[in-house]
């Protein structure tokens, strides 16, 4: 029995640690680091107060990564690998259990299921809830959009940590048109890595019961890096759009985008490894 116990101890000691969704560093989880070109995580946004790093997990698999601002209750950015498909989605919105309690399940869950499991617990201290968006006059605007994903990864985009309040015109028209353009553009890449983020406003919020609940961003931004069959960068670019009802999308080079982002937070440095260059 003692020998068996010793063997069990040795096996368990050499097993990789179980990783939750909320991690200290994206570098801690190799599967999560895969959503950044060359494993290069941008410095931009890392110093955001109250930031949490989410390896977005659904159906026991990682699908993308999100740097999440728990004070403004919006994403700083989501990072993903482009894929496309026409798979159906249920559009059931999830939240992140480990933003409530680090010991809870690692995978995203629907709020109604968590209510059943954890009666009397408030889930919205560090993240937005579905009720925040109801009657707010703002859409739940995806950062990692469903049309840039397939299979379970498509469904995994429906977590409230991957959305920010967007005006209906931006979400349903201007930014949606840009996402469609980008979808066609990135289909010609062998691989493509994408970052989509938000610039929080100074004092514009969705307010519920006289409480500032979810910050309404001033801008949405995007950056992408397209690779050939040999894994070499062949083109890159980005875009920005004001989060207003009368809005349009402005396309940028990566250098122009970095200059834009530097107005709001430093350092920007590289958004992609070697600035998505050869």
The residues pairing with 38 across neighbouring beta strands, listed in sequence order, are: none
Q: Which 3 state secondary structure label does DSSP give 111?
A: helix
Could you give the percent of the chain with pLDDT greater than 70? 92
DSSP 46-75: TT-TTEEEEEEEETTEEEEEEEEETTTTEE
pLDDT (tens digit per residue) in 1-56: 444 444 443 433 333 333 347 999 999 999 999 999 999 999 999 999 999 999 99
Question: In terms of C-beta density within 10 A (0-12 exposed, 13-18 middle, 19 or more buried), how is residue 250 classed?
Answer: middle
179 Cβ neighbours under 8 A, 6+ residues apart = 145, 147, 148
pLDDT (tens digit per residue) in 53-79: 999 999 999 999 999 999 999 999 999
pLDDT of residue 13: 37
Question: Could you give the CA distance from residue 33 to residue 41 in angstroms, rounded to a whole number?
Answer: 8
The residues spanned by each domain of the chain are 17-187+202-215
164 Cβ neighbours under 8 A, 6+ residues apart = 74, 75, 141, 143, 198, 214, 216, 217, 220
Nearest to 84 by CA among 179, 170, 171: 179
pLDDT (tens digit per residue) in 141-200: 999 999 999 999 999 999 999 999 999 999 999 999 999 999 999 999 999 999 999 999
- Residue 274 in tokens: 């070697």
CB 162 within 8 A of CB 95: no
Q: Which 3 state secondary structure label does DSSP give 242?
A: strand
pLDDT of residue 278: 57
């Amino acid at each position: 029995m003692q020998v068996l116990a010793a063997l069990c101890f040795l096996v368990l000691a050499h097993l990789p640690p179980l990783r939750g969704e909320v991690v200290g560093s994206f570098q801690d989880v190799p599967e999560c680091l895969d959503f950044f070109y060359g494993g290069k995580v941008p410095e931009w946004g890392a110093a955001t107060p109250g930031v949490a790093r989410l390896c977005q997990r659904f159906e026991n698999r990682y699908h993308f990564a999100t740097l999440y601002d728990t004070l403004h209750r919006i994403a700083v950015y989501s990072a993903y690998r482009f894929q496309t498909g026409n798979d159906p989605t249920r559009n059931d919105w999830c939240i992140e259990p480990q933003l409530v309690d680090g010991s809870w399940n690692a995978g995203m869950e629907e709020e109604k299921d968590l209510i059943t499991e954890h009666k009397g617990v408030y889930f919205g201290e560090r993240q937005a809830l579905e009720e925040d968006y109801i009657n707010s006059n703002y859409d739940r605007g995806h950062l990692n959009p469903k049309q840039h994903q397939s299979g379970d990864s498509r469904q995994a985009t429906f977590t409230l940590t991957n959305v920010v309040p967007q005006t209906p015109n931006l979400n349903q028209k201007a930014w949606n048109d840009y996402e469609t353009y980008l979808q066609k553009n990135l289909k010609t890449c062998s691989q493509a890595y994408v970052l989509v983020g938000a610039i929080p406003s100074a004092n514009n919020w969705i307010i519920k019961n006289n409480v500032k609940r979810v910050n309404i961003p001033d801008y949405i931004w995007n950056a992408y890096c397209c690779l050939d069959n040999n894994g070499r960068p062949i083109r890159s670019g980005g875009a920005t759009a004001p989060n207003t009802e009368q809005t349009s999308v402005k396309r940028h080079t990566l250098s122009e985008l970095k200059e834009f982002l530097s107005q709001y937070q430093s350092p920007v440095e590289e958004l992609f490894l070697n600035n998505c260059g050869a």
